[in-house]
Structure 1
């Protein structure tokens, strides 16, 4: 059988069929229309609306970068710098571009003080941008730049520097790596200090390097400087004296605050333990605590002068009114209140001088709970001072409707309520300022002090200054508070610590005083937490700290002496007085 002849392509019968003419015309018209549309679109984009293409092109090489603002300085009242921002560099990388040889990786890791393995882990990240090291010293950053490594870049930042180190750490606080406030004044006034970053347009090459600075879009606005009320000289004196006292008495902690009695400004504020804000490695919570402002404690006998002031101001007692202290024992309900020594009959002035619990309670119980509460409230206890400081505590002052007689009695000598050290120091302004209570400030005041409120009469305040001068003299509880050439006044406090709802054999020793008595200039409040070197009374532990700080500070301020220079007499001789120096009752 014969095979059919093969059909070639050009003899395919399907090709002999004629197509309709309209189909060819339709394809032609479609092609012409598409071409016209493309030509029109190209003409529109390139001739009339070229912003779109320019924006797309610029997005490949133009960038808007942030220009950091310089954080404002913090100074003391005399213009001495306490905190300043210094320029540093941060090293960052584009992992996709960072192809480093082993030798380059080792050299870079050594400069950045990193482990080579850690560096390599960051450089293999899937992210487009990774920091390798923040806040690097400029001289180290220059060495990094000299390596000329692909994908490794730098940017300028600022790091906060504190010239005084740990001296004023709890006042100033510190900033984080972004130069934003984290603690202390740095946090409280962060908005004022931080400023506003600016921006500028630049051109970068494909390696991310800036090749042209095109324009400034918005200039940065640097942060404002902040002048604190702190006096750097007094701050160091307070810090050094407190540190030595905590060490000498083997105490858990301590705090001190110094106020200007004329204005209410804080001249010094120190805590122990403390920390160096320039090196915050291995910080503990105890180091960070600002005990002056955030910690509360039972003030003990430092509250007794206020009960005496209330009694004198209301006309119920005079400084010479006799009070029977009943040989140092007084029973209220099931509880018995004790004095450390038996005194018998004392005047009101001697009750404060000898720190008699029994005498103080007898005075306090002549008032209603509401009257006592109102006076404590007027002094600022139980409410924050409004300093704006992070973590400021209000203390504890319960509603008088809940007071039982024994609770009113113990509150008269500083148990059953809690205060902060700065609240206590501020309350003593009423004695130093003829009965006026001023607001306290951490910021330097340019004009006259803000108006205060009259809590007691000027006559009462003057009488209390004389009584408190007796308490800080031989025969009182704080002869170690005396200063050569100056008259001083103040009151000691010694309180058992409350832990788990029960009083323990741990103590808080305190002293609050002012000088010179003739024209008070400084108020110094000292608190020593858990002294354990054998002494725990405020007169032995806290009063000497007051004397050391106040003496140096008064001389630094040029305050004229108001007493003749003579040898200090810490106590009357036992053979002449027939007794031992007074100790405050607890």
Structure 2
């Protein structure tokens, strides 16, 4: 008896499943899950100044009803952007647009392809009048950096991932380091469609990303970058430099400056081959290893001021104390430390040890 009931249950279940399969096949019913992106969290400095936020804009996308763009759609898109660039003196080349379209086809993504963002009123009028059918306008949020170049390597940038359900993702700096906190969670809606009628169920609420507050002082950061650029101009053959300022009591990073800098806002605006050059500037060389050819360059003498600070903090010596620098120092009867020129500097204070870059002082008095 139990066996018969179980057999009937599976028979009915199979019939219902078959009916549903047929209805799905003829598109009488459909079941899909729509994903809505979460708003990304903001980044603040220690005083509450916004360093990274989100901006509502109108953006241009290329779309297609087929799996891949047709040659005609591609041609229409390129022709339109040639007109658009010429009309508003934008640096958007047909070559860059074509490359973006080809890359999306190779990835076989069904998503719309982003081409240009932050459209103003005059551009919108031109676009509505001249755009081909496969170019559409979307309202969306893009990442915006109010301070532009200031602290750009530290803050980082985001980039659109055509296959991501989370929207733009952090690619460097704080944007990358705190990606899991900043991105939030997307919303999910189950859409049941039957004979052109839709029934919606929210199965996951959108959760806005968390805000991140830094110890950075944006005003001090700006002054540091200006001073750094000024010093680089005075030094022959120098084209880059890095500065880190910390709170000696807490260790908090107050500024972390690089030169040259970049404006991450330009990465959001439009497709350009120059974006790759901009991204190459995003490496925070103040804390990342520098590579020349196949070799990495260590921190070397840049660590000496911190070494002196450790010695003073640990009361290993006083600012007025002196040390007789003989040019070499040996410890453990085998390790011989020498100054770079190999010459002695005589009686020196901690301050003079930094000025003369004394390896022997650092080793004998601190290490």
* 1:78, distance to aligned residue in structure 2 (A): 1.6
Checking the alignment, whether the CA contact within 8 Å between 2:244 and 2:257 is kept in structure 1 is yes
1:231 matched residue in structure 2:
217
2:165 matched residue in structure 1:
none
| Residue 73 (structure 1) aligned with residue 76 (structure 2) | no
Q: TM-score, normalised by structure 1?
A: 0.42
Q: Aligned in 2, Cα 1:310/1:240: closer, same or farther, shift over 3 Å? A: closer
Q: Which consecutive residues of structure 1, in runs of 5 or more, have no partner in the other structure?
A: 1-40, 205-209, 366-371, 377-586
| Residue 305 (structure 1) aligned with residue 303 (structure 2) | no
- For residues 51 and 126 of structure 2, what CA distance do their matches in structure 1 show? 30
1:292 matched residue in structure 2:
286
* 1:199, distance to aligned residue in structure 2 (A): 2.7
Q: How many residues matched?
A: 306
2:83 matched residue in structure 1:
110
Between 229-238 and 101-110, the greater mean CA deviation after superposition: 101-110
* 1:335, distance to aligned residue in structure 2 (A): 7.2
| Residue 186 (structure 1) aligned with residue 175 (structure 2) | yes
* 1:62, distance to aligned residue in structure 2 (A): 6.2
> Aligned runs of 1:121-520 on 2, under 5 Å?
129=110, 131-139=112-120, 144=127, 150=133, 152-153=135-136, 157-178=140-161, 179-201=168-190, 214-250=200-236, 251-279=238-266, 281-283=275-277, 287-295=281-289, 296-299=298-301, 302=305, 305=308, 313=316, 337-339=342-344, 346=347, 351-355=349-353, 361=360, 376=367
* 1:361, distance to aligned residue in structure 2 (A): 3.9
Task: Name the SS for the 2:220 alignment partner.
Answer: helix
Q: Aligned in 2, Cα 1:77/1:359: closer, same or farther, shift over 3 Å? A: closer
- For residues 180 and 259 of structure 1, what CA distance do their matches in structure 2 show? 29
Checking the alignment, whether the CA contact within 8 Å between 1:324 and 1:359 is kept in structure 2 is no
* 1:188, distance to aligned residue in structure 2 (A): 0.5
Q: Which consecutive residues of structure 2, in runs of 5 or more, have no partner in the other structure?
A: 1-11, 86-91, 162-167, 268-274, 290-297, 331-335
* 1:131, distance to aligned residue in structure 2 (A): 4.3
Checking the alignment, whether the CA contact within 8 Å between 1:308 and 1:360 is kept in structure 2 is no
- For residues 359 and 105 of structure 1, what CA distance do their matches in structure 2 show? 62
* 1:69, distance to aligned residue in structure 2 (A): 1.2
| Cα distance per residue 1:312-364 (max 9 Å; x no partner) | 64xxx888877666xx6669789784245xx6xx5xxx533443979984895
1:387 matched residue in structure 2:
none
Checking the alignment, whether the CA contact within 8 Å between 1:94 and 1:130 is kept in structure 2 is no
Task: Name the SS for the 1:292 alignment partner.
Answer: coil
* 1:158, distance to aligned residue in structure 2 (A): 3.6
- For residues 263 and 188 of structure 2, what CA distance do their matches in structure 1 show? 34
Between 1 and 2, higher relative CO (CA 8 Å, sep ≥ 6) is seen in 2
Q: Aligned in 2, Cα 1:259/1:56: closer, same or farther, shift over 3 Å? A: same
Task: Name the SS for the 1:283 alignment partner.
Answer: helix
> Which one has the largest radius of gyration?
1
Q: Aligned in 2, Cα 1:54/1:171: closer, same or farther, shift over 3 Å? A: same
Question: How much is the aligned-residue C-alpha RMSD, in angstroms?
Answer: 4.9
2:62 matched residue in structure 1:
91
* 1:63, distance to aligned residue in structure 2 (A): 4.4
Q: TM-score, normalised by structure 2?
A: 0.63
- For residues 81 and 314 of structure 2, what CA distance do their matches in structure 1 show? 74
2:7 matched residue in structure 1:
none
Checking the alignment, whether the CA contact within 8 Å between 1:93 and 1:153 is kept in structure 2 is no
Q: Aligned in 2, Cα 1:220/1:257: closer, same or farther, shift over 3 Å? A: same
- For residues 86 and 237 of structure 1, what CA distance do their matches in structure 2 show? 27
